[in-house]
Amino acid sequence: MSTWDLSTLLHGLHDELHQQLELARKSMGHPGSKGDASEAVWLELFQTYLPKRYQAEKAFVVDSLGNFSDQMDVVIFDRQYSPFIFTFKEQKIIPAESVYAVFEAKQTINASLVSYAQAKIESVRKLRCTSLPIPHAGGTYPAKPPIKILGGILTFESDWTPPMGTALETALIAKDGCLNMGCIAAHGYFNYDTVAKKYDYAIGGKPATAFLFKLISELQFSGTVPMIDVLAYSKWLTA
């Protein structure tokens, strides 16, 4: 009989992430270094545990009109059907059609950082997404509408007491539903219920692991990104 224990493995995944985020917060004196370390911890989690059809990187997002988003700490995008990803001096640029989700990663959460994350997420959502009809053996499927890009915030701690109470909800509903989900690794995670149009909060337990599972579930229901019109981008070769 196997001596593996699933509960121990899942608890250990959260504990490892928690320890890494705590170490970044307490041991690094420079704010920029702390931020870089936190981003790296979240990126490693997603790169390791998300299904391989998804990829996670720090990146800019671009559309076929030449518009760019702000730089996002975490962009989760399609790698199975994405025809191109630009890389220049380690800076990654991803076409808007390929994006499933974007996140801001911070040391802590407060009203200012929630507002900051909301604005950065909107810089991605306002980009234009092309979509072509999909050929198949029996004909052609209609062009698929662009998917709703998930947006969220990832932190270790909260500046509020309690960390996931009225203050957090007030900040979130200032732009209701703009942040679909978020994780405060030391305390819990939240998710926006699009049917009930309200936020649900999961407090305590092993938040990082629970959040990872919730994110994977949300990505599954997002389906597949639309078929990108590559030629819409090629016009910039003659610009």
Q: Which residues are known to be catalytic?
A: 73, 104, 106
Residue for token digits 């790698």?
79
Strand partners, 11: none
Within 8 A by CB and 6+ apart from 236, the residues are: 66
Return the number of other C-beta atoms located less than 10 Å from residue 176's C-beta: 11
CB 132 within 8 Å of CB 229:
yes
- Exposure string over 58-83, b if 16+ CB within 10 A, otherwise e: bbbbbbbeeeebeebbbbbbbeeebe
Three-class DSSP category at 59: strand
